[in-house]
Chain A
């Protein structure tokens, strides 16, 4: 058993209101720079929709992730032989037009324009060329366009559905959409790392954060195509790739990452998962339908004395183990089985899990709205407005079972609360639903508490990262570093000669 600790995450989609506060928090802290204007390390997209970059889920085009290859797995984007040619021109690389051309406006003209008969206007100009441009796309351009023939109808996940099912989804009375906020998943089997020829990408051993060393990146740009989530970005100005750093400077000082901290819907949870690195291959080399379960088998129980002993043997500290025991992520993913990985079929073992949203799933029974009676309520998931097949394509690697389980349990918990608060159904009825959904009252209350009323320190359980030891770790002389400009990267981020 090779125990590793990982800072893992849960996004509770039923709570996301699509406000983009998270994206702005990230943008202001990290990507408000030349060459990075188009980057949204955190983005929020509307589903069904084409997403950002456009149709990023279409791996025929972008070749992200891994595929099975006998006893092993191999990258779709690059192998050592083909890479020798594709390094000169990478056919699977998205270009700026797959995101959008960044723009600003000539605001000064509002003040400096010569006096005249007309009101001066601020014209849009490209942030690449500085020239006037026509804006054809921008950040979250498909926001809220649930039924749009341009965006929703081109969602790559719709291929799981029959033409009739698709048609039904776009009936005006049934139109529906939900939000998926996305950041780097800090995967346990990251394809970005495996694809980087210069070894610039790496996973931090202590907390599993996946980072990209700016001093070693040489712009071979394989990571951009290899990440199936398109969460490494190419900075066209500096000629280096960049990605989400999970705000590690904040984590190291005990703060939640900016997007987590600012989340208005309080949909985000962060905590430690312990996993067995020896089981990584077993967790990915299984058929698609078994991937969700296989990934769960890789994750270890932090209360198991054997696991604790093995973790200590690997130098994992008591404070980390205790954080793993209090981890909200462990509860959502392992104890309650409510949270699922996004597109597990790419076999990167994402360490960000999603609680699938219940609202757009809820059935439209009859012509006059929802059936809110209790009988057959759980079954309504199967006649949902968003077909379960569609949700399974996103969160179950095509397998409906884990998604159905998570949705049924959420509905049952809702009924349990309804019996307690609205009192229009009896506790017995609620109890029956709970039992049917593999849940009991104690668990239902715990789910309710962590979902609805969790405080900051329940949602973010961050073990101390012992920042005070950071300088010593870098083998720098603490006294010499005193009063200097700090440690680490000291070059300006300008394009090289």
Chain B
């Protein structure tokens, strides 16, 4: 029963809130979409937290996504030991950066009176869920070699079964404890994502790359000059 709750129901709650809550929040409460930057109150320590953390977490996210979308390609890549090592080392470094960065962020916030005064319950929740997800992830990586190899064989099929609306709970039940905890904490993170400041990742400013520098907005439709003939 517990297994069914954890691996059969939790994923749907998490994914449902991830997508639905964030869409509703985007439409109804656009003012609350912000990275809630605290650099203005403390800048020096932020560098040693925010930069490694984001580089790490974004790399990890990309890695998980690629493994999930193209398991075969990853398996083929891992066919040669050297390439397996490259992938594993990159993942390890990213996890390390994310963990060190997150720790630096938490220490920074705890150590500054200005930041403490400007911290909400949601900030704490974000730290806790991220710490669980990254921590269990590292445990998996250290205890269950090689993650990139078995992830694609064993876990990705489970994830796909969730997406196909036919969750194969048994696959997860058979898995070792670290992997189980990592999956649960990942779904918790996904579940709280859209209720927290983490939504800033949804609005990452990609359009800036192709937008013209100046923006002029007209209230009335602007009249174009008539062609003179």
Interface residues in chain A, defined as those with a beta carbon under 8 Å from any beta carbon in chain B: 75, 80, 83, 85, 87-91, 93-96, 126, 128-131, 189-190, 193-194, 197-199, 201-206, 214-221, 234, 236-240, 310, 313-315, 470, 473, 489, 491, 493, 495-497
Contact = CB atoms under 8 A, between A and B. Distances in A.
5 contacts: A239-B35, A313-B223, A473-B219, A496-B36, A496-B197
Nearest to A189: B214
Contacts of B1: none
B218 A205 contact: yes
Contact of A314 (B50, B213, B223): B223
Contacts of B39: 89-90, 93, 95, 221
Contacts of A205: 216-219, 222
B208 interface: yes
Q: Give the top 8 A-B pairs by smallest Cβ distance, nearest first.
A: A197-B205, A496-B32, A205-B218, A315-B223, A194-B213, A239-B36, A215-B30, A197-B208
B64 interface: no
Contact of A236 (B32, B40, B197, B223): B40
B170 interface: no
B118 A128 contact: yes
Contacts of B216: 202-205
Contacts of A194: 213-214
A203 B214 contact: yes
Contacts of A313: 223, 225-226
Interface size class of B (residues with CB under 8 A): 35 or more
A190 B33 CA distance: 24
B35 A220 contact: yes
B204 to A, nearest CB: 9
Interface stretch (B5-13, B41-49, B86-94, B135-143): B41-49
Nearest to A95: B43
Nearest to B217: A202
A480 B128 CA distance: 46
Contacts of A236: 38, 40-41, 118
Given A206-B219, A497-B120, A219 B34 contact: yes
A93 B116 CA distance: 21
B82 interface: no
Interface centre among A75, A96, A496 (most CB of B within 10 A): A496
Contacts of A131: 113
A198 to B, nearest CB: 5
Interface in B107-138: 113-114, 116-118, 120, 122
